Chain A
Amino acid sequence: MARTLSMRQALSEAFHQVMEEDERVIMLGEDIAGGKGAPGDQDAWGGDMGITKGLQPRFGEERVLDTPISESAIIGSAVGAATCGLRPIAELMFVDFMGVCFDQILNQAAKFRYMFGGKAETPVVIRTQIGAGYNAAAQHSQCLYPIFAHIPGIKCVVPASAYDAKGLMIQAVRDDDPVIFFEHKVMYDEVRDEVPEEPYTIPFGEANIVRDGGDCTIVAMARMVHKAKEAADALAKDGIECEIIDPRTISPLDEDTILESVENTGRLVVVDEAYPRCNMATDISALVAQQGFADLKAPIEMVSPPHVPVPFAPELEEAFIPTPEGIAKAVRKTVGYAG
């Protein structure tokens, strides 16, 4: 039965279900229960955003491990354990902290299967938070997923709905490859939609067509899907119909769905909250420019923040994050293009 859940609740339900169904699933990270060794409440936090609360009381300290602040060891031991029979879900609290453990992801997890001639499996899930919107400034607000999409051997998931978050998380845990699951921190409570109670999966590399329309294709991911929806609603009032494609996983990327949509609309706007150089907007634009050029009726538009770190001051952060107005403007530009 489907109920309306927030992305927070959907993820929590997914964790309970995957840990229930498979004893090899363990979870580790800083404060993922909270209160470890402290005199007060245990499971006091359930992670810094309260997403994993309730897991340790239910599955015990042997399967839900609160850790010291040692990301290389957290991520690395999850990767190591994954090659030795467990299916760990490791939390890197914010993607901005990936610098301290990058080698374990980049040169270890991502490489084993290939380097070892296809004989290794590394079924690890690394969860991490992305995104601006909390005035958390330059070291806590980035959308660094393109860096990981750049690396072969890692699957990258960027969910935009509660439904997708649950299905993709269960898929990620059952997957035999390293998966990084990027959760936009603003979306935990901002996004609510219908989610079935029973476990289900969503295959990787299958985009979601969020909205149909024949005038312009908008490809957007994570929180930008919702900004694109707002833009599309506003444009529809002027008779401009947008098709919104959410890739859901950026590696693997569902190229076919994007190309097919552009074949129908002849126009493309890509919206990406990540920094504009070498992000998914440039990557998807290149894909369409190369393989869908004949379908294009107008130059491709990209909507991303400016190439600057995320600022602290609310006005500046607001100016940083792409807006529905900015997206609508880009769409109008493609529609009004006169060759």
Chain B
Amino acid sequence: MTTGAALQLSRDKLLQAYRTMRTIRDFEERVHEEFEAGHLPGFVHLYAGEEASAVGVCLNLDDEDKICSTHRGHGHCIAKGCDVTGMMKELWGAADGLCAGKGGSMHIADLSKGMMGANAIVGGGPPLACGAALAAKTLKNGKVAVTFTGDGGSNQGTTFESMNFAAVFDLPVIFVFENNGYAESTASSWSVACGDIVNRAEAFGMPGMQVDGFDFFAVHDAAAEAVERARTGGGPSLIEVKFGRFYGHHEGDNQSYRGKDEAANLRANHDCLNLFRQRVTEASLLESADLDSIDTEVAALIDRAVQDARSAPRPTPEQLTTDVYVSY
């Protein structure tokens, strides 16, 4: 479903969309390499292939709008404006990482950007997003909240409760379900009993849209509609974004549960960055050269981020016991 409204975006917005998607992609590809080389500790879940979702949604938001993310949160963080170097440092566990090295990949947050946190608890985000939306509604500030949830997380009780709650209170919240086909190794075609997650919207009394998640424009248009509805008091919406992930569930996953050549096929034929490039150049909205220069800039940015992360100060044992309680 491409209504084409997003094709009317300003040149600046289009460049920003591409730059952000490219930043996420390069960030993830680099993290993959660094993890393979044994430079990164912890559990890492890559978002590569899903960029159009985070960016398509977040381009409709500003710093005052809130998002709640998942364990696969790097893309959401970058799309919401988190500092890429701070994120890279966080993955390294550096003392000056975005969360002082205490959170790591699964817990990156920057409240000043409206990024309320990646979340390692599946289904942890939707209730929090309802809270953010409740705050916006109570304060009458016209702000909205978005919660990103996977297909797996769509089956969580917290998610169901939140959708009902949001509908009952007409909360300005958008439930984005990123259906990449799997929850760890389990297929969503099996685990989501009603087939498509979008079908659940009706049960909760809210509008639902299903979009091709490889198509930035489709995601953007659906999100724009949902955000507009939320901002103008129209209550919650559900968006199911369908696509696939380029990598395994987490780094180190051998992916034997996947179809043969599935990931390779995604890369070859369903790469949201290539599709974006094709679309904007064919419509003469941007030149290839514009995009190439973004590619070069972003590559340098990611390189610098990695260099900075490598040489960043390490936390000291004294920092173990700070931040436990707020100081009164």
A306/B320 contact (C-beta < 8 A), A40-B258, A68-B152, A137-B42 known: yes
The count of residues in chain A whose C-beta lies closer than 8 Å to any C-beta of chain B is 44
A315/B314 contact (C-beta < 8 A), A31-B185, A68-B155 known: yes
Pick from B107, B156, B258, B262: contact of A312, CB below 8 A.
B107
Measured in the bound complex, the distance between the Cα atoms of B321 and A30 in whole Å is 34
Question: Smallest CB–CB gap between A14 and chain B, Å?
Answer: 23
| B155 neighbours in A (Cβ, 8 Å) | 68-70
Closest 10 CB pairs of A and B: A37-B190, A313-B93, A312-B104, A37-B187, A35-B257, A39-B259, A313-B101, A44-B257, A135-B41, A139-B120
Q: Is the CB of A40 within 8 A of B320?
A: no
Binding site for A on B (CB under 8 A): 41-43, 93-95, 99, 101-104, 106-107, 119-123, 152-153, 155-158, 182-192, 255-260, 262, 314-317, 319-321, 324
| B121 neighbours in A (Cβ, 8 Å) | 96-97, 99-100, 139
Interface assignment of A307: CB less than 8 Å from any CB of chain B: yes
Q: A38-B186, A137-B107, A140-B43 are in contact. List 10 more A-B contacts (CB 8 A).
A: A34-B257, A45-B184, A45-B185, A68-B155, A69-B152, A100-B158, A137-B104, A309-B324, A314-B41, A315-B314
Q: Is the CB of B314 within 8 A of A36?
A: no
Binding site for B on A (CB under 8 A): 30-31, 34-42, 44-45, 48, 66, 68-73, 96-97, 99-100, 134-140, 306-309, 311-316, 319-320
Chain A interface secondary structure, helix, strand, loop or mixed? loop
Pick from B107, B259, B315: contact of A139, CB below 8 A.
B107
| A36 neighbours in B (Cβ, 8 Å) | 185-187, 190-191
Question: Smallest CB–CB gap between B313 and chain A, Å?
Answer: 11
Q: Is the CB of A38 within 8 A of B156?
A: no
A69/B185 contact (C-beta < 8 A), A35-B256, A137-B107 known: no
Q: Is the CB of A70 within 8 A of B157?
A: yes
Q: Which residue of B lies closest to A69 (CB)?
A: B152
| A71 neighbours in B (Cβ, 8 Å) | 156-157
Measured in the bound complex, the distance between the Cα atoms of B189 and A308 in whole Å is 40
Measured in the bound complex, the distance between the Cα atoms of B157 and A97 in whole Å is 13
**Residue of B107, B158, B183, B257 contacting most chain A CB atoms (<10 Å):** B257
| A44 neighbours in B (Cβ, 8 Å) | 185, 256-257
Q: Is the CB of A135 within 8 A of B157?
A: no
Q: Is the CB of B184 within 8 A of A312?
A: no
Measured in the bound complex, the distance between the Cα atoms of B320 and A138 in whole Å is 12
| A66 neighbours in B (Cβ, 8 Å) | 186
Question: Smallest CB–CB gap between B137 and chain A, Å?
Answer: 26
**Residue of A308, A309, A313, A320 contacting most chain B CB atoms (<10 Å):** A313
Measured in the bound complex, the distance between the Cα atoms of B190 and A39 in whole Å is 11
Measured in the bound complex, the distance between the Cα atoms of B106 and A320 in whole Å is 19
Measured in the bound complex, the distance between the Cα atoms of B255 and A162 in whole Å is 29
Q: Is the CB of A320 within 8 A of B320?
A: yes
Measured in the bound complex, the distance between the Cα atoms of B316 and A73 in whole Å is 42
Question: Smallest CB–CB gap between A331 and chain B, Å?
Answer: 22
| A315 neighbours in B (Cβ, 8 Å) | 93, 314-317
Q: Which residue of B lies closest to A136 (CB)?
A: B43
| A312 neighbours in B (Cβ, 8 Å) | 41-42, 93, 99, 101-104, 107
Measured in the bound complex, the distance between the Cα atoms of B42 and A71 in whole Å is 24
